Amino acid sequence: MAITTKTVSNNGNAQPRVIYILPQPFFALRGSSFRAKATVETLAKLGFGVDLVCLNMGNDLSIPGVTIHRVNKLKVIKQIPIGPSLRKIVLDIFLYRKAKKLIESNVYCVIHGVEEGGLIAHYLSGQYNIPFIFDMHSCMSEQIADTHFGRWPFVYKVLHHFEKKAIRKAAGVITVGKDHAAWVTKICADVKVHALHDLPPPIRYDEHRLADLKDSLGLNGFKIGVYTGNFASYQGIDLLLESWKVLVRQNDKVKLILVGGTPEQIESYTKKTLHLGIADHVIFAGNKSPEELGDYLMCADTLISPRITGANTPLKIYTYMACGKPIVATNIRSHTQVLSDNEAYLSHPEVHAFAEALAQSFSQTPGNLQIASNRSRAAKRLADEYFNRQRFESILKKAYEFTDPTYNQKEVSGEKNHSEARALASHCARHI
């Protein structure tokens, strides 16, 4: 990684500033929004001023030390789907222009780019000689291969090329899990990689509201399974509903609540439940605010993640673990990076196998009740000890260590790393 430096004036402002490029709606009820919020809150706590550049969608939040800058509204684009899309590409162009304008009128010590924002950060880093961090909420080339864009191999190849190029030039790379961290290291052994877990939001619920919720939804006398999240194909909603049909044949005293989904997706899946004959056993709750979500999570007997593809661990898993409830999940790498058979009921992403895992989690035999209790406690203990705010802040602080003007005095192995450390620290010192 070659870093050149230039002398700039800080205009009398002693606070180091970061421009955080987020190519997503903010704030939205998505795992990526919660992660971004936790990241910028932590950066502000570490003493950085943060300019967050995002799309023109989402709810406004007041975060001390953080200023939100949105791209201009486009009448023809009112919403975007999760994942890659042509609409997203158009908005990313405006996101780049907004970030470029801010960089030209402010002094930043770091450009922090999320997902394709990391590619934008890489380009702007070359233009303005500012070190950048590539924050990989997911592996974009892997993600695009699972969409309709995957029909064109050259799209994957082009994106993978720029992804690798950005990794090699980054001052640091942040990943969601250890699998992606290992993948990054294979691409560039010299880059500093930080596996930063998601930080689950606090679980808030009220016993009186919980009782009212169960009454209003007709849940009393039933075992309850709860899924939270979007309804994208990789989430495995089809697998879950088809498995639920098998489960209902064995035990009709079960109900499934799905929290999330767009109105169009809910309409489509409602038709599917009618076709499967399980409409009386499935409730589509729609999207809920963080304040409401806790009530739905805590009314569950089992929390469910039927995801069928992916390697990055979803936020919901950390939230489920913190709830102290039995968890049923597929045994793909998205889940097994964090969970084992000691903490959850893991199953192959196949209908009958997943239905059996659900049945075991609901079983009332003394032996199964003890197993469920042991796994729930183990999952909560793991969340409390390892996936907490203190650890999140510590890892992010480590990722930003190069902004410390004394960084070049610390022990760094290899002459190449010495020169890079000096260049990075020199640049950051000029911006503080």
User: Of 391, 20, 45, which Cα lies nearest the Cα of 195?
Assistant: 391
| Token digits of residue 207 | 């016993």
Q: In angstroms, how far is CA 47 from the centroid of its own chain?
A: 24
In the chain, the amino acid numbered 17 is: R
* Confidence band, pLDDT 50/70/90 cuts, at residue 10: very low
The answer, yes or no, to whether residue 18 has pLDDT greater than 70, is: yes
The answer, yes or no, to whether residue 148 has pLDDT greater than 90, is: no
Secondary structure element (H or E) that encloses residue 224, with its range? strand 223-228
Q: What is the spatial distance between Cα 51 and Cα 16, in angstroms, rounded to a whole number?
A: 11
Residue 133 DSSP label: E
Q: Is 226 helix (H, G, I), strand (E, B) or coil?
A: strand
* CB contact at 8 A, 257 and 223: no
In the Cβ-directed half-sphere of 420, how many Cα atoms lie within 13 Å?
Answer: 18
| Token digits of residue 220 | 């009393």
Per-residue model confidence (pLDDT) at position 77 = 81
Q: Report in angstroms the alpha-carbon separations of 277 from 274, 341, 352, 353, 354.
A: 5, 32, 17, 20, 18
Per-residue model confidence (pLDDT) at position 152 = 75
Q: Tell me the average pLDDT across 353-358.
A: 98
Q: What is the spatial distance between Cα 156 and Cα 149, in angstroms, rounded to a whole number?
A: 8
The answer, yes or no, to whether residue 2 has pLDDT greater than 60, is: no
pLDDT tens, position by position, 93-136: 999 999 999 999 999 999 999 999 999 999 999 999 999 999 99
Per-residue model confidence (pLDDT) at position 384 = 95
* Confidence band, pLDDT 50/70/90 cuts, at residue 6: very low
Q: In angstroms, how far is CA 37 from the centroid of its own chain?
A: 11
In the chain, the amino acid numbered 290 is: P
* 202 compared with 303, residue with greater pLDDT: 303
Residue with structure tokens 């995002």?
54
* 378 compared with 406, residue with greater pLDDT: 378
pTM: 0.86
The answer, yes or no, to whether residue 76 has pLDDT greater than 90, is: no
* Confidence band, pLDDT 50/70/90 cuts, at residue 29: confident
Q: Tell me the average pLDDT across 47-71.
A: 96
pLDDT tens, position by position, 320-343: 999 999 999 999 999 999 999 999
Per-residue model confidence (pLDDT) at position 291 = 87
* Confidence band, pLDDT 50/70/90 cuts, at residue 430: very low
- pLDDT averaged over the chain? 89
Q: Is 193 left (phi over 0), alpha (psi -120 to 50) or beta?
A: beta
Q: Report in angstroms the alpha-carbon separations of 61 from 27, 34, 135, 205.
A: 7, 12, 21, 22
The answer, yes or no, to whether residue 165 has pLDDT greater than 50, is: yes
pLDDT tens, position by position, 206-260: 999 999 999 999 999 999 999 999 999 999 999 999 999 999 999 999 999 999 9
pLDDT tens, position by position, 380-397: 999 999 999 999 999 999
* 13 compared with 70, residue with greater pLDDT: 70
* Confidence band, pLDDT 50/70/90 cuts, at residue 156: confident
Q: What is the spatial distance between Cα 360 and Cα 182, in angstroms, rounded to a whole number?
A: 34
| Token digits of residue 347 | 């199953």
Q: What is the spatial distance between Cα 350 and Cα 335, in angstroms, rounded to a whole number?
A: 15
Residues in the chain: 432
Per-residue model confidence (pLDDT) at position 393 = 97
Secondary structure element (H or E) that encloses residue 182, with its range? helix 178-187
* 57 compared with 413, residue with greater pLDDT: 57
What the chain holds in terms of domains, given with CATH numbers, is 17-199+388-430 (3.40.50.2000), 207-386 (3.40.50.2000)
The answer, yes or no, to whether residue 309 has pLDDT greater than 50, is: yes
Q: In angstroms, how far is CA 190 from the centroid of its own chain?
A: 25
Question: Which ranges in 348-402 belong to alpha helices (H)?
Answer: 351-362, 366-386, 389-399
Q: Report in angstroms the alpha-carbon separations of 315 from 171, 222, 229, 272, 305.
A: 26, 27, 9, 27, 11
Q: What is the spatial distance between Cα 41 and Cα 30, in angstroms, rounded to a whole number?
A: 17
* 409 compared with 271, residue with greater pLDDT: 271
